[in-house]
Amino acid sequence: MKNKLLEIDLNEADEYDFDDFTQNLEYELFEHKIEFPITLEAVASNWRGQTGYAEAENQSDLINKISSFDPSYVKLCINTSNLPAKIERLPRKNMIHEYNPKTKKYSQIIVENITTKESMDKAWSLGTNEGLEEVNSYMLTLQEAIDMINPAIEEDGYNKNDLYIFRNIQEPEIVDKDLYPLYFKIYTHDVPMGFRMNLKKSGENNG
């Protein structure tokens, strides 16, 4: 899955390249609703594997903080895992349900609340209102389960209004709600394989 938005080779870049990078960075920060001040979390950012933290008051301050590592290469990336899933060819929104094996009950899942990571888990199946085994019991990604709908209708004769997509209930993951989807991958002399700098909501923005 493509997650790189911007990149700059600071060994080769001239003033024009740097200006272009900063202008595009300003656009991406605005587009993804990054609100300053922000907390920077530089994960394993030195040869000791230590993680450091700093505050950036604005974009210029952010660039200065990145420059303090004397990087050779910088990428701006996006983590799509917790963004809403892109779902195609879903006949109706009320057909996705979650099954709780303990209570043996179904509950509808709001489509807009399904994340990209959840949709990519092999945890989904196509079934009918009579049960999963009516169609199949395979564990698929969400899109794979959706793409089985037309064959089930056209080849097996199922009524589309009787078809549902089910997911066995999942243990909730611990998600850092302060984490923005954008992050930097920074390559330095100390960490030539690169380290990740997360962008997080500052305490000033959590009031």
Q: Three-state DSSP class for 82?
A: coil
Taken in order 163, 167, 169, 172, is the CA torsion positive or negative?
Answer: negative
The rounded distance, in Å, linking the Cα atoms of 116 and 48 is 33
The pLDDT of residue 169 is 73
Within 10 angstroms of residue 153's Cβ, the number of other Cβ atoms is 15
Block residue for tokens 């390249």: 17
The rounded distance, in Å, linking the Cα atoms of 21 and 34 is 17
The pLDDT of residue 133 is 54
Domain boundaries, the chain: 4-82+175-205, 93-168
The rounded distance, in Å, linking the Cα atoms of 205 and 199 is 13
User: Which residues in 118-150 are b (16+ Cβ under 10 Å) and which e?
Assistant: bbbeebbbbbbeeebebbeeeebbbbbbbebbe
Say how many Å lie between the first and final Cα of the chain, rounded.
35
From first to last of the 207 residues of the chain, give the pLDDT tens digit. Answer: 458 999 999 999 999 999 999 999 999 999 999 999 999 999 999 988 999 999 999 999 999 999 999 999 999 999 988 888 999 999 999 999 987 777 878 889 999 999 998 999 998 999 887 665 556 657 899 999 999 999 999 998 999 899 999 887 766 666 678 999 999 999 999 999 999 999 999 976 554
This prediction has a pTM of 0.67
137-143 long-range contacts, CB within 8 A, separation 24+? 142/85, 142/87, 142/96, 142/114, 142/118, 142/167, 143/87, 143/88, 143/119
The rounded distance, in Å, linking the Cα atoms of 158 and 150 is 9
Q: Three-state DSSP class for 37?
A: coil
The pLDDT of residue 1 is 43
Residue 69 near residue 54 (C-beta atoms within 8 A): no
The pLDDT of residue 139 is 84
- Strand 4-9 to strand 124-128: parallel, antiparallel, or no bridges (unpaired)? unpaired
